[in-house]
Each structure stands twice: as C-alpha cells, then as structure tokens.
Structure 1
Amino acid sequence: MPEPFISLEAALATWREWELPITDTPHVLGPIEGGRTNRSFRLRAPGLGDDLLIRLNNPQSPRLGINREQEAVILDTVAAAGLTRGACYWSPRRDFTVFRHIEARTWGTDDFRDARQRRRLMECLGVAQVLAPGTPRRSYTAYLDHYWQQLEDAGAIDMALARRWWRFRDTLVAFDRTDWPAVLTHHDLIPENVLETADRLYLIDWEYAAVGHPDIDRWCLDPALVREPFIHELARWTNELWERIVRLSGGQ
C-alpha cells in the first residue's frame, strides 16, 4: 500500500514553527485544483495580509524522480530572480511546504499558442537559463534508469517495451556523453504551471527542475521549437515511464 500523505490537520498544527507573524491556526479556504503529484490548499492565516498556500508533498516523491533538497535550492534561486514565489517554510521531513499565495490567472493551452504570450514565457526561460543553483547536471540516463528499475522490480515490463527501451537506451547513453548545453530547466512546463498577474508571469512547481537540456522546456511549449532532434524521443520516453510509475505507485 502506498505511503499516505501527511494529513492537512497535522501540517496545520505546526503553524507556530513557520516563522511567520501568524496569530492563530490558519483555516482552509479550499483545495487548489490541478496537479497530479501533490495536494495543495489555500489558507487564510490570522495576522497575515496575504493568503498562504500549503502543499502536501507526495510521499512517493523519490520514486517519481523528485529530490526535495534539490528543489529547495532551485526554488531559492529562481525566487531570488523573481521567477516564482519562494517557500516560506519547509517541514523538517520535507512532507509539506508553505508558500505565499499568488493571486493570478492560471494559463491555458491558448496562451501557449499565442505568439505574444509565448515570447513572454521564453523571456522567463531565458532568465532561468543563466541562473546557477549549484545543483548537478542531470544525467538523463540515470534518471530514466531509476524509473526503469522500479518497473522491472515490479514485473511491469513486457517484451515489446523491453525491446524498445534497450534500443532507445543506447542512444540515450551516447547523448548524455555529449557536451550538450546544460542550463536550469523546468522539466514540467505545462500551462497550469504558469501564473499571470497584472504585471508579470510566475513559473511554479519546480520540483522536477534540474540543470538540464533547454530543449526539454521548448518541447513542452511547442515541439517545433526543438533544435536537438533526440529531445523528441527523450521527452516521450520520460512521459511514458513517468505515467507507468504513477500507476505503479497507486495512481493520482
């Protein structure tokens, strides 16, 4: 049975540890819809002028390829550059995180198709790509091997999938050995992870981020923007194996 999320009540009970000028237990305004990895809720906190967002982090994060320690470092880096909201508090076990809530419009697929909106988003990515969080360059081979090993251990691989994988993996290993441009990459650039306020864009949910290949984010926005042909295959395999791990972990 999958490990359960921390309960919302247990997370809220720690409010005195959040080092925020809160005068009483925050109360829940409602869930934040969307997202398949975590569970998020909007909070009203007595003593604060702005609402908060509490994110209950998926207890299966390591299986999904999420490193919360690395995420915390990257979040601090991109928040300092004004690209996202910083975390107000991380629980000691990294099982929940508290953010300032951003009053904003969530992007939709039409925004990704709009030329002006795409230019704005590409400008944000350009800002991210010159940042140096100090985290290691992603080995896509090691990252996908981690997914594959879990599927293999669970007996969730058939012969057809195995044949496709081993053909792909040879190319993947060769790709990782090349000197491709390594920059800070979001790796989960979907419309729901872009928020628009009156004067700016925020990119949220950096939990899959790493120093990686910039074409991954371009592929998410529009595959036609990709410059390295292998990225198409890499992105498809990443998504396919991730979906299989999600099902293996109990679904979301």
Structure 2
Amino acid sequence: MTQPPDNILSEWALWGLTQPPIAIEAVHGGLTNANFLIECDSGQLLLRLNNNGQSLGIERTAELKIHTLLSQRGLAPTIRYTAPDHRYWVREYVQGRPLSQGEITDRDMKDIATILNQIHQLPPPEGAPRLDVKASCLTYLNAIDSRSKKFDSQLTTLRTAVDKIDPLPESEACLCHMDPLPANWVRDTTGKLWLLDLEYASVAHPSLDFAALALQLPDAARQAWTALLPESIRVHMEAASEQIVLLDRTWRLAHTAEKDPSL
C-alpha cells in the first residue's frame, strides 16, 4: 500500500491540523501494520493503519493506555488521534536514527537498560493484559491449525516445545514492552532515545524484555548487554530466551497463515 485510503485522509482535521497534509510517504519495515509519514504545515506525523486480526492477539485499547502512560513519562511519542474503532492512529513522528542490531553501542545498551527498568517500575494501567507465554503460543498455534494442514509438521514440533514451558516467577511480573528490538528504538536528533510499538506490552516477567533484546544482538554485544543486568534477571535469562523464541516462532507462523490468501 503506497497511500492510505481516502476516507482516512479526509479526517485530517481530527488530527489537530489546520490544513490538509502536504505530502504522504509510506514507511516500510513493519510486519503488522501499514505506516505513513505525514508532512503537514506544523511538522511531521506518523499515520499507522492497524492490523486488527484476531489471531495476532493484540489488544488495541490496552496498547493505547500503555502507550499513553509511557508518553506521559517522556519514553514514547505522543499519540495525536485514535480512530474510535482503532482502525488507525496518528502520533508524533520521531525524527532520528532507528537502532541497528549490528551497530548497537555501549551507550545504546545502557540507555535501553535504564528505560526498560523505568518501565518495569511503572504501575500497569487498568486492563493491561497479563502474559501467559504458554497460553499465547497455544493461541497462535490453534489459529493456524484451524485454517490449514500446510504447517502440520511445524505445529507438532512447536506444540511439544510449548508443553515443556515452565512459567517464570509470577510474583516478579511487572509492566513489560515485550518487543524491545533494536528497530523499535529511535535516537532522535537531540540524542534522546524513544521506544516505539507497544502492541504486545503486558504484565510479564522482566527477564523476557531483556532476553528479547539479547537474542537480536551479536555475541560480543550480547555479553556486554548481559553484564548490565542484575543477578536477579540473569538467573532467568536462559528460560526467558527459550520462551521468547517460542513466542516469536508461533507468532510468525500465525502471521504467515493470516496473510496467505491461499489458505
């Protein structure tokens, strides 16, 4: 999709604009939603067309509450407008450089650790989903199983692995981002680091956040990242990494099945 639908663009006055957008450019890279950079007389905005497919397990109302909480703390950009049915959102655009997993610096990792720790200390908003990794994986697998036999061999292997999941300590659960990959961080032109895409934010064990990033890093950076973490997190990193891998594999399979028109 190179342009948003006309019926969405016609709502520009609801976004706080006094004049129609000057230019619109597709922003590529996201796996779930369609994003567009909106040039307007007052600056730049990001228009996100939401994928509200049920099989992906995204709770948009909860995401909005969590994003708003983080934006109030200066950790995520401000949302300017939300369509009543969550078809699309418009938020402030962060002009800067997304982090790259191959070029992540010690400063990046220290700032990320600081911000994640800040998020983990925030009180979860009312209605924030509580993550059960095993249940989420099974939801994805069941969504695939109900649509096609194409993935039978993968489903069998994944179900066996999911059955072996041991839950992390429930008493340590807190508000987590759950997808703090390098591409979801942007360092703006002033040097400030921003966190994006809170679709899967939930109440979960904090080691899952740290493991999700660790799995994206080269070996040397991963060792430096792990050294930043307290022992209370490091003792759970192996189990957390296994759970993140299963969440990612089952989600990607469900996403593929949802998008495949031949199924």
Bin for the TM-score computed over the shorter chain = 0.7 to 0.9
Which residue number in structure 2 is paired with residue 133 of structure 1?
124
SS at 1:124 equivalent = helix
Which residue number in structure 2 is paired with residue 87 of structure 1?
79
Which residue number in structure 1 is paired with residue 245 of structure 2?
236
Q: Confirm or deny: 8 A CA contact 2:48 2:88 kept in the other structure.
A: yes
Matches of 2:57 and 2:131, distance apart in 1: 11
Which residue number in structure 2 is paired with residue 54 of structure 1?
47
RMSD of Structure 2 on Structure 1 (CA):
2.3
Of 136, 139, 160, the match for 1:143: 136
Which residue number in structure 2 is paired with residue 71 of structure 1?
63
SS at 1:41 equivalent = strand
Q: How far apart are residue 242 of structure 1 and its match?
A: 1.2
Q: Confirm or deny: 8 A CA contact 1:216 1:235 kept in the other structure.
A: yes
Say yes or no: does 1:158 pair with 2:152: yes
Q: Confirm or deny: 8 A CA contact 1:54 1:96 kept in the other structure.
A: yes
The alignment-based identity, stated in percent, is 24
Q: How far apart are residue 10 of structure 1 and its match?
A: 1.8
Q: Which one-letter code corresponds to 2:10 in the other structure?
A: A
SS at 1:195 equivalent = strand
SS at 1:69 equivalent = helix
Aligned length: 239
Q: Confirm or deny: 8 A CA contact 1:194 1:204 kept in the other structure.
A: yes
Q: Confirm or deny: 8 A CA contact 1:111 1:191 kept in the other structure.
A: no
Matches of 2:154 and 2:118, distance apart in 1: 42
Q: Which one-letter code corresponds to 1:236 in the other structure?
A: V
Q: Which one-letter code corresponds to 1:237 in the other structure?
A: L
Q: Which moved more, 1:178-187 or 1:85-94?
A: 178-187
Q: Which one-letter code corresponds to 1:130 in the other structure?
A: Q
Shift of the 36–236 alpha-carbon distance from structure 1 to 2, 3 Å rule, reads same
What do residues 86-138 of structure 1 show as CA deviations (whole Å, max 9, x unaligned)?
Answer: 211110110100011111111112343x2222111111111111111321421
Runs of at least 4 residues off by over 4 Å: none
Q: Confirm or deny: 8 A CA contact 1:27 1:45 kept in the other structure.
A: yes
Matches of 1:98 and 1:189, distance apart in 2: 21
Matches of 1:159 and 1:100, distance apart in 2: 44
Gaps of 5+ in 1: none
Q: Which one-letter code corresponds to 1:234 in the other structure?
A: Q
SS at 1:119 equivalent = helix
Matches of 2:109 and 2:74, distance apart in 1: 18
TM, length-normalised to structure 2: 0.82
SS at 2:212 equivalent = helix
Matches of 1:137 and 1:59, distance apart in 2: 19
SS at 2:69 equivalent = helix
1:209-224 → structure 2 map (5 Å cutoff): 209-223=201-215
Which residue number in structure 2 is paired with residue 14 of structure 1?
11
